[in-house]
Amino acid sequence: MPDHGRQRDLPERRLTLREALKRVLGEGMFTARELSARVGLSEKDVAGHLEHLARSVKATGERLEVERPRCESCGFVFKDRARLSKPSRCPRCKSERLSPARFGLVKRGDP
């Protein structure tokens, strides 16, 4: 008879999702898809966690560095976009071929 009250052999999570994201972001620049794979979070949820992380790291002297998405067809850069989620298409040429945004953490004062 199976023991339903017993905890299965699940891996123990030692870090919160945001702590794990912060650790990964400290290693370099990553797309939302790469962060999703490394942290075990859905790609759609990454943007919300990044927005929160961007506010919380200010107290530690770090900042979230964002390399903005770019249209592959006409070269438009989404430099004024405040949201960290993926845009659906280029406002200039309406192309859906966009390079993904890349994210990383840098210490304040670093280039």
Distance of CA 107 to the CA centre of its chain: 17
Indicate the pTM of the whole model.
0.78
* Predicted confidence band of residue 18 (pLDDT cuts 50, 70, 90): confident
Residue 6 has pLDDT above 80, yes or no: no
Report the alpha-carbon angle 67-89-34, nearest 5.
45
pLDDT tens digits, one per residue of 28-81: 999 999 999 999 989 999 999 999 999 999 888 899 999 999 999 999 999 998
Delineate the domains of the chain, giving CATH numbers in brackets. Answer: 17-107 (1.10.10)
